Amino acid sequence: MTDKATNGGLGAFDLVIFDWAGTMVDFGCVAPIAALVEAFARHGVVLDERTARADMGKAKADHVRALLARPEIADAWVAANRAEPGEAEVAALMDDLGPLMRDAAAQAAELIPGATETVAALRAAGIKVASSTGYTREMMAPVLVRAAEQGYAPDHLVCANETLAGRPAPLMIYKACVDLGVWPLSRVVKVDDSEAGVAEGVAAGCFTVGLSASGNGIGLSRAALDALDPEDRAARLAVSGALLKGAGANLVVETVADLVPALAAARA
């Protein structure tokens, strides 16, 4: 239980749990898409980006299962491989996806602008910083190194397959809270760019923040997003934000750089 005052502002929180791709690194959540498209292509199945993004935020094996469950993907798999997709096919795809994801994630591990400043402000307020991801620990290894080189090293990390169920189940959040000794869950903030990650925070009973600009909802690099016509940019942000709100987000901001003032205002 916290010793901090509970009179609002940042003092209302003890822990913030950040997602990784699209939230703290990899503006546009590009790495997992490139890896998924290549993994399926190796098995003769063409996977378009929009379809690949539909289940983003889930543990990668669950993401693969969700893709194979889509009728059009299942049909394409049968046509290319003369077999119905099942757990053996999930395992085969994951064998390819692991190294592909590791390489893609390492290349896309640049911190999103404002990430280090946000973490510094949270820690200055006495708030712990944890992280969770749909990546396996193997996939995360190079990302952790690159993030630390840029000044970001969270207090805690939970990876896919380290709990009995992944997002949208709340078990990764529960694990972080148990390991860090933080409770109640109402004093925990979950920050994520995906609908599955937002749903995870809601299921756990956290104050949940969605990021509409930097992640899966729009899926563009920072440069590509900034190059959009202002009306087009605003329209895309509105759609992305509405999806996160629909998943249950208490608050939606554009990127992690906007988090601290938004949290302070939300609990003022």
Residue 166: CATH number of its domain: 3.40.50.1000
Residue 131 is given by DSSP the state E
Picking from 85, 107, 129, the residue at the C-terminal end of a domain is: 107
Closest CA relative to residue 91, chosen from 65, 67, 54: 65
Q: Coil, strand, or helix at residue 263? A: helix
Picking from 72, 107, 142, the residue at the C-terminal end of a domain is: 107
Could you tell me the CATH number of the domain that includes residue 94? 1.10.150.240
| Number of domains the chain is built from | 2
Q: How far apart are CA 90 and CA 258, in angstroms?
A: 38
In a domain, 247, yes or no: yes
Q: pTM for this one? A: 0.93
The answer to whether residues 246 and 135 belong to one domain is yes
Rg (CA), the chain: 18
The answer to whether residues 252 and 161 belong to one domain is yes
The answer to whether residues 20 and 141 belong to one domain is yes
pLDDT of residue 267: 84
In a domain, 1, yes or no: no
Q: Which of 26, 55, 58, 60 is catalytic?
A: 60
Give 79-115 pLDDT, tens digit per residue. 999 999 999 999 999 999 999 999 999 999 999 999 9
The answer to whether 19 is a known catalytic residue is yes
The answer to whether residues 119 and 103 belong to one domain is no
Find the domain containing 170 and state its range. 9-30+110-266
In a domain, 4, yes or no: no
Give 173-188 pLDDT, tens digit per residue. 999 999 999 999 999 9
The answer to whether residues 78 and 91 belong to one domain is yes
pLDDT at 242 over 50: yes
The answer to whether residues 24 and 153 belong to one domain is yes
Which of 14-18, 134-138, 258-262 comes out lowest in average pLDDT?
A: 134-138
Per-residue pLDDT averaged across 150-171, rounded? 97
Q: Which of 19, 26, 192, 193 is catalytic?
A: 19
In a domain, 57, yes or no: yes
Per-residue pLDDT averaged across 248-264, rounded? 98
Q: How far apart are CA 202 and CA 57, in angstroms?
A: 14
pLDDT at 5 over 90: no
Per-residue pLDDT averaged across 254-259, rounded? 98
The answer to whether 155 is a known catalytic residue is no
The answer to whether residues 84 and 175 belong to one domain is no
pLDDT at 32 over 50: yes
The answer to whether residues 63 and 176 belong to one domain is no
Confidence of residue 7 (pLDDT cuts 50, 70, 90): very low
Residue 112 is given by DSSP the state P
In a domain, 3, yes or no: no
Closest CA relative to residue 53, chosen from 43, 63, 38, 40: 63
Per-residue pLDDT averaged across 205-220, rounded? 97
In a domain, 144, yes or no: yes
Residues 6+ apart with CB under 8 A from 183: 1, 177
pLDDT at 8 over 90: no
The answer to whether residues 58 and 162 belong to one domain is no
